[in-house]
Amino acid sequence: MSITDIKKHLDCTYEQALERVPEALAKEGFGVLTRIDVKETFAKKLEVDFRPYTILGACAPKMAFQALSTDLDIGLLLPCNLIVYKDDAGVMVKAIDPEATLGQTGIEGLSEVATLVKAKLIAALGHL
């Protein structure tokens, strides 16, 4: 299985990226609803060390309303997840591709909102 994503590599610290990503998302109408520090969770629950890695759940309320008004079950795919992690060359930021994800549902009426969300996610990553 291949996950279709939108990505941007950053030449900054992990901490700087975690500050900048929510700011960039906000410029495109997204808020961060959830933040999961995977490294911290693994350390506490599994007593293992893992690279700095955070999952952000982002939502643009108008677009979420449109998607949920089309099909209530689409909430299973919300919010839009982004990941921020440290790699050998700096920091990677990736967002799920909503066109690919929502397109797999086969639900009529979602392609318009998926295209809009994708454009806004691309723009948000462009602000980084």
Tens digit of each residue's pLDDT (9 = 90 or more) over 82-99: 999 999 989 999 999 999
Query: The domain spanning residue 48 has which CATH number?
Result: 3.30.310.70
Task: Give 24-68 as a DSSP string.
Answer: HHHTTT-EEEEEEEHHHHHHHHH------EEEEEEE-HHHHHHHH
State the pLDDT at residue 3: 76
Mean pLDDT over all residues of the chain?
94
pLDDT digits (tens, 9 = 90+) for 45-77: 999 999 999 999 999 999 999 999 999 999 999
Q: Which domain holds residue 121?
A: 5-126
- Looking at the structure of the chain, the number of domains it has is 1
